[in-house]
């Protein structure tokens, strides 16, 4: 067993107290400090979030596990309590799981994103469960006057074998709540897991399929009004004047007014992305009445001027320029092409790449581009708010409630402690819900009209509001000698308004002469996190280029990747490589085996891709054919190394979702602009993958290495773009450099 400490330095890890009516209440801080019984200090991960949770054991034996993280479909509401339950040693059927509200005094840093929930909570949740179990054992030992070491647990019962004594956890819970927290506890060996590694149904599954009110759009409160906003039709415009006479006179309408969501001098945090800070609001009795009144508004718009905003992000404060102008996709493409020709900011340089290119017998150069993408969560943006002079109650979909509470406090002029945020289940997230502008808007509206209000976006409002996946371009160059040996690799990539490069990821570390350059172009079109930020594009470009490079060198594309991985494993270049080449190679070898890569399949064309992100390794093989210029995806085989899998069925479901999502965006996803106006505003024009276009089968294999779990919600998404592109090449003889690929495919004769 692994020994872990329950406290470190002066920070207390656990707080134990009694519940009303008897029982044990265990509160714990995930970051407050666990440490393995080892000499060295364990470094904190780069992306770290403090988290708390609760265990409640009633005197009647009832067990409630609180899930602190917001839930947006990644199933953390099931998987995280499973970890607690494992070390607590209870029957899962006896567990009730509840969604915690945002409660920073009790739960620190309640955040869902970055595929980090399980990775960051792994040892802390285990330690909390094991500590509760130890307290119960101590209570039983005192009650029975026997040594603690003689007491065992099983399925929520305490057992003293020699005397035959047995008690349920509930019988000892009240006494356990009075005992001091042990300084260290034992965690189970992974081979003894009973709950972790088993497939457990989503705790909300029945409620979801039976239509129980779980989501923000389901909220109904006494006296609640409905609000909708109208934002400028184009990025680069703002409100000049509003004629609301007709709208105000319509049935059911209570008021029409403008709001300013953020003060001009407000110092934003990294999640204060908001596209339009001045909005026109219509408030009324019903959604239908408000929607009709919106159409009656007569608004005059004017162009914005250049401005600067201060953003306090993860890397400190920075001033961001918001340029004036009405931007168009044609202009974006021209700008990116121009920037691609200029020297970029050097992000990494190994060896002498310039010298290697000057001596090259052959240079392969290819450029890849991808458009803006809208999130298009199935549940449009919404939020309930009831703001009074004394307090604010906010209820809606949000991934990062702590950050938006700071904004709400500043904008409402209210102490943070008076703002209560309830965490509604999210109908999708993918990064969009990390940005809480809708909560600020709803709160301002409620404060102004002095009534509870539910803010609702239409699909058109949602799709044209911003916070998009950026548009990107990347140029890859490879220098080869006369014998087609690889001498150097150079990547220069940028976008509007950020670069997609992760400079220390593969193929860095596998090539003697390597250069990575980045650049970015300012824009007034707002962007934000989109499932696997930056990786969702650069993986496609990188893995497509490696495929073509392998062909140019006369090598099998999968074997070529393994060859590079072997170099990175045995004789790596540089010291900052942020991947494990052996684990990376492991998923390639596994997908090669499971896809029967070396066995030809008549009429089926295959493409391979692999990528590392969110601390996990994924390799995928897509099998497809072309019928009437349309790709028919028969099968996708994926190999995943994400360490221990908590809930296999849920993990497979999440992986399948990521693959289908990736294929859909690769083939169809695109948002373009003309004079600042998004050219698509609903699903009749914004093409999503359809049921009949999903793969006929998806075969996901997990590496069983007993390592601590890492990310899973995002890692299967990035590599599938290139696997599709590489399979399309095998099917058509044409390489695909521009997303969405269907536009290029339809041009083929």
Contact call for residues 736 and 748 (beta carbons, < 8 A): no
Give me the pLDDT at residue 183, please: 87
Angle, to 10 degrees, between the axis of helix 557-570 and the axis of helix 581-594?
160
Q: Which residues contact 155 (CB under 8 A, 6 or more apart)?
A: 89, 90, 91
Tell which residue, 543, 524, 537, has the closest CA to residue 494: 537
pLDDT digits 0-9 by tens, 643-682: 999 999 999 999 999 999 999 999 999 999 999 999 999 9
Quickly count: other Cβ atoms within 10 Å of residue 393's Cβ.
19
Comparing 48-57, 88-97, 474-483, the range with the smallest average pLDDT is 48-57
Q: How far apart are the first and last CA of the chain?
A: 64
What is the pTM (predicted TM-score) of this model?
0.93
Tell which residue, 429, 469, 371, 468, has the closest CA to residue 668: 371
Confidence of residue 42 (pLDDT cuts 50, 70, 90): very low
Does residue 302 have a pLDDT over 50? yes
Does residue 295 have a pLDDT over 70? yes
Angle, to 10 degrees, between the axis of helix 401-412 and the axis of helix 437-449?
30
Domain 334-373+468-745 belongs to what topology? Aldehyde Oxidoreductase; domain 4 (3.30.365)
Does residue 350 have a pLDDT over 70? yes
Q: Looking at residue 713, what DSSP letter applies?
A: T
Written as one string, the DSSP assignment of 515-543 is EEEEEE---SS-B---SSTTHHHHHHHHH
Give me the pLDDT at residue 9, please: 32
Q: Cα(622)–Cα(604) distance, rounded to whole angstroms?
A: 10
Name the token pair of 500. Answer: 């997609």
Confidence of residue 109 (pLDDT cuts 50, 70, 90): low
Written as one string, the DSSP assignment of 193-258 is -SSTTS----TTHHHHHTT-S-BGGG---TT-EEEEEE--SSTTEEEEEEE-HHHHTSTTEEEEEE
Q: Of residues 363 and 18, which shows the higher confidence score?
A: 363
Quickly count: other Cβ atoms within 10 Å of residue 721's Cβ.
31
In angstroms, what CA-CA distances link 169 with 5, 155, 495?
A: 23, 9, 57
Q: Which residues contact 672 (CB under 8 A, 6 or more apart)?
A: 329, 371, 372, 678, 679, 680
pLDDT digits 0-9 by tens, 671-730: 999 999 999 999 999 999 999 999 999 999 999 999 999 999 999 999 999 999 999 999
Assign 493 to helix, strand or coil: strand
Give percent of the chain above pLDDT 90. Answer: 79
Tell which residue, 93, 125, 116, has the closest CA to residue 14: 125
Q: Give the H or E element holding residue 634.
A: strand 630-641
CATH 3.30.365.10 positions along the chain are 2-193, 216-234+236-307+381-456, 334-373+468-745
- The burial class, CB within 10 Å (0-12 / 13-18 / 19+), for 660 is buried
Please report how many Cα atoms fall inside a 13 Å half-sphere around the Cα of residue 537, on the Cβ side.
33
Strand order in the sheet with 345-350: 345-350, 513-520, 486-496, 471-480, 362-370
Q: Which residue's entry shows tokens 């399980």?
A: 118
Q: Cα(514)–Cα(346) distance, rounded to whole angstroms?
A: 11
pLDDT digits 0-9 by tens, 281-294: 999 999 999 999 99
Q: Cα(347)–Cα(501) distance, rounded to whole angstroms?
A: 8
Contact call for residues 639 and 590 (beta carbons, < 8 A): yes
Q: What is the largest CA-CA distance in the chain?
A: 85
pLDDT digits 0-9 by tens, 214-241: 999 999 999 999 999 999 999 999 999 9
Give me the pLDDT at residue 28, please: 57
Domain 2-193 belongs to what topology? Aldehyde Oxidoreductase; domain 4 (3.30.365)
Give me the pLDDT at residue 41, please: 31
Confidence of residue 119 (pLDDT cuts 50, 70, 90): confident
Q: Cα(660)–Cα(664) distance, rounded to whole angstroms?
A: 6
Give percent of the chain above pLDDT 70. Answer: 93
Assign 452 to helix, strand or coil: coil
Give me the pLDDT at residue 6, please: 63
Confidence of residue 17 (pLDDT cuts 50, 70, 90): confident
Assign 589 to helix, strand or coil: helix
Confidence of residue 89 (pLDDT cuts 50, 70, 90): very high
Contact call for residues 268 and 280 (beta carbons, < 8 A): no
Name the token pair of 172. Answer: 């000892």
255 — phi, psi (to 5°)? -170, 155
Q: For the domain 216-234+236-307+381-456, what is the CATH code?
A: 3.30.365.10
- Percent helix, percent strand, percent coil in the chain, to nearest 5: 30, 30, 40
Beta strands per DSSP E along 688-733: 697-702
pLDDT digits 0-9 by tens, 176-202: 988 988 888 999 999 999 999 999 999
Give me the pLDDT at residue 108, please: 57
């Amino acid at each position: 067993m692994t020994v872990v400490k329950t406290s470190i330095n002066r920070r207390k890890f656990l707080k134990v107290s009694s519940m009303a009516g008897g029982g044990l209440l265990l509160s714990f801080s995930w970051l407050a400090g666990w440490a393995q019984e080892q000499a060295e200090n364990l470094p904190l991960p780069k992306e770290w979030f403090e988290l708390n949770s609760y265990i409640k054991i009633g005197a009647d034996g009832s067990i409630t596990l609180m899930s602190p993280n917001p839930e947006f479909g990644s199933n953390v509401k099931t998987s995280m309590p499973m970890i607690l339950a494992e070390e607590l040693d209870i029957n899962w059927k006896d567990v009730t799981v509840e969604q915690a509200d945002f409660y920073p005094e009790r739960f620190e840093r309640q955040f869902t994103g970055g595929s980090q929930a399980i990775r960051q909570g792994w040892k802390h949740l285990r330690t909390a469960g094991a500590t509760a179990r130890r307290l119960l054992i101590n209570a039983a030992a005192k009650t029975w006057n026997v040594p603690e070491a003689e007491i065992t647990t099983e399925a929520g019962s305490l057992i003293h074998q020699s005397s035959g004594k047995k008690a349920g956890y509930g019988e000892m819970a009240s006494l356990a709540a009075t005992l001091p927290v042990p300084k260290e506890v034992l965690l189970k060996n992974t081979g003894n897991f009973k709950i972790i590694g088993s497939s457990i149904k989503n705790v909300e599954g029945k409620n979801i399929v039976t239509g129980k009110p779980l989501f923000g759009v389901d909220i109904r409160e006494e006296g609640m009004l409905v609000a909708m906003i109208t934002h400028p039709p184009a990025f680069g415009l703002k409100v000049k004047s509003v004629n609301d006479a007709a709208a105000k006179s319509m049935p059911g309408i209570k008021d029409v007014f403008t709001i300013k969501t953020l003060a001009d001098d407000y110092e934003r945090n990294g999640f204060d992305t908001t596209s339009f800070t001045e909005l026109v609001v219509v408030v009324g009795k019903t959604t239908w009445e408000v929607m009709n009144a919106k159409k009656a508004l007569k608004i005059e718009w004017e162009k914005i001027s250049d401005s600067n905003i201060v953003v306090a992000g993860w890397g400190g404060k920075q001033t961001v320029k918001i340029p004036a102008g009405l931007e168009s996709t044609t202009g974006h493409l021209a700008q990116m092409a121009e920037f691609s020709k200029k020297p970029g900011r050097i992000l990494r340089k190994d060896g002498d790449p310039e010298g290697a290119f000057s001596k090259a017998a052959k240079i392969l150069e290819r450029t890849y581009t991808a458009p803006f993408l809208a999130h298009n969560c199935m549940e449009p943006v919404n939020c309930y708010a009831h703001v009074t002079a004394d307090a604010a109650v906010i209820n809606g979909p949000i991934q990062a409630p702590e950050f938006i509470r700071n904004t709400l406090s500043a904008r409402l002029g209210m102490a943070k402690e008076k703002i209560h945020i309830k965490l509604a289940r999210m109908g999708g997230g993918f990064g969009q819900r990390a940005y809480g502008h809708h909560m600020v808007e709803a709160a301002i509206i409620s404060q102004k009209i002095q009534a509870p209000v539910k803010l609702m976006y239409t699909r058109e409002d949602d799709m044209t509001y911003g916070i998009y996946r950026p548009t990107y371009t990347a140029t890859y160059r490879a220098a080869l000698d006369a014998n087609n040996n690889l001498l150097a690799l150079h990547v220069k990539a940028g976008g509007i308004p950020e670069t997609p490069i992760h400079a220390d990821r593969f193929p860095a570390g596998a090539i003697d002469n390597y250069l990575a350059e980045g650049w970015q172009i300012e824009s007034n079109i707002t962007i934000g996190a989109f499932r696997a930020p930056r990786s969702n594009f650069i993986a496609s470009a990188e893995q497509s280029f490696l495929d073509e490079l392998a062909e140019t060198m006369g090598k099998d594309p999968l074997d070529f990747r393994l060859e590079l991985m072997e170099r990175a494993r045995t004789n790596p270049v540089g010291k900052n490589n942020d991947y494990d080449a052996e684990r990376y190679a492991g998923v390639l070898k596994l997908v090669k085996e499971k896809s029967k890569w070396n066995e030809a399949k008549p009429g089926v064309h295959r493409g391979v891709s692999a990528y590392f992100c969110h601390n996990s390794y994924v390799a995928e093989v897509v099998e497809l054919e072309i019928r009437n210029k349309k790709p028919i995806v028969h099968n996708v085989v994926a190999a995943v190394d994400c360490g221990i899998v908590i809930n296999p069925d849920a993990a497979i479901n999440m992986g399948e979702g990521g693959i289908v999502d990736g294929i859909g965006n690769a083939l169809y996803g695109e948002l373009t602009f003309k004079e600042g106006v998004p050219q698509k505003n609903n699903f009749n024009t914004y093409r999503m993958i359809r049921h009949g276009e999903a793969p006929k089968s998806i075969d996901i294999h997990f590496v069983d290495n007993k390592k601590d779990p890492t990310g899973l919600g995002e890692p299967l998404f990035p590599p599938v773009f290139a696997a599709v592109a590489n399979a399309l090449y095998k099917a058509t003889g044409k390489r695909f450099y521009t997303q969405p690929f269907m536009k290029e495919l339809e041009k083929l004769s």
